[in-house]
């Protein structure tokens, strides 16, 4: 019997092979009934199926088939980017950026304003009290001149009962309740201005003193009022 040739999947000729080898190749699955074969005496290549009976291939195809494979688990549907993509959530309702900024600014402004007020208010109150005391100082000016003149003439300190002077209460004006003229414990002439500022215990009922030094013809100012409310010339 002639040897056989067959065409492999790459269209390359394989052989010569004896019939038994062809059977083994068929049985192993390396060739099938559609594989083109040729042997000496054939005018052209023919499918192996035409020689199945001659080569005894039908016996091989009728051999018992193995049982079917067990069923596989269901294959999940192919991934789809569109299917996997979650639907867009509806926009959340809430405060806008501008509103949040306004709230933050308000929260920061309130304590800041309180701090500024805590600093500025006492400073303003001190300023107004200094202004009140300063406004009372000019009342002493004419009395200073009268006291100095009286001492020059009489070498003694005047009082409210002396000629040219009036009762202490008669000098009341503005914040001044009374102006007393007399001799201080230092034996020097002086003037006492008593202030009246109802409702303000820092100034109300407090005295400002002007003491005359005849040897230098100068005046010294002092007071029982806190220095921070007094003019610089009256601070101790």
pLDDT 10s digits, 8-32:
988 899 999 999 999 999 999 999 9
pLDDT of residue 81: 47
Domain range list for the chain: 4-61, 135-234
pLDDT of residue 113: 72
Rounded to whole angstroms, how far apart are CA atoms 133 and 176?
Answer: 9
Question: What CATH number belongs to 4-61?
Answer: 3.30.1490.40
**Residue found by looking up tokens 């030094």 in the block:** 213
pLDDT of residue 85: 54
Q: Mean pLDDT for each consecutive 10-residue tract of the chain (236 residues)?
A: 88 92 93 94 93 84 53 50 52 69 75 75 88 90 94 95 95 93 93 94 94 94 93 87
Tokens found for residue 90: 């509806």
Rounded to whole angstroms, how far apart are CA atoms 214 and 230?
Answer: 24
pLDDT of residue 67: 52
Across 34-43, b (16+ Cβ under 10 Å) vs e yields ebbbbbeeee
pLDDT of residue 90: 57
pLDDT of residue 88: 57
Rounded to whole angstroms, how far apart are CA atoms 226 and 206?
Answer: 10
pLDDT of residue 101: 77
Asked if 179 contacts 159 with a C-beta cutoff of 8 angstroms, the reply is no
Task: Report the predicted TM-score, pTM, of the whole model to 2 decimal places.
Answer: 0.49
pLDDT of residue 109: 74
Please name the fold of domain 135-234.
Glycoprotein, Type 4 Pilin (3.30.700)
Tokens found for residue 146: 């009268």
pLDDT of residue 17: 94
Rounded to whole angstroms, how far apart are CA atoms 20 and 3?
Answer: 10
């Amino acid at each position: 019997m002639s040897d056989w040739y067959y065409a492999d999947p790459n269209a390359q000729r394989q052989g010569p092979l004896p019939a038994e080898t062809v059977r083994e190749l068929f049985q192993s699955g390396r060739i099938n009934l559609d594989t083109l074969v040729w042997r000496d005496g054939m005018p052209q290549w023919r499918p192996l199926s035409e020689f199945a009976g001659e080569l005894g291939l039908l016996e091989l195809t009728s051999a018992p088939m193995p049982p079917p494979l067990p069923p596989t688990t269901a294959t999940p549907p192919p991934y789809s980017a569109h299917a996997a993509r979650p639907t867009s959530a509806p926009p959340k309702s809430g405060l806008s950026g501008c509103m949040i900024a306004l709230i933050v600014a308000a929260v920061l402004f309130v304590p800041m304003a309180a701090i500024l007020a805590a600093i500025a208010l006492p400073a303003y109150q001190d300023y107004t009290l200094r202004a009140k005391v300063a406004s009372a100082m000019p009342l002493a000016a004419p009395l200073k001149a009268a006291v100095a003149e009286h001492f020059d003439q009489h070498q003694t300190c005047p009082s409210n009962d002396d000629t040219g002077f009036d009762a202490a209460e008669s000098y009341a004006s503005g914040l001044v309740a009374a102006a007393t003229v007399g001799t201080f414990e230092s034996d020097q002439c002086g003037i006492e201005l008593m202030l009246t500022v109802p409702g303000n215990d820092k100034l109300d009922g407090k005295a400002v003193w002007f003491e005359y030094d005849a040897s230098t013809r100068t005046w010294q100012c002092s007071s029982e009022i806190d220095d921070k409310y007094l003019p610089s010339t009256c601070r101790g």
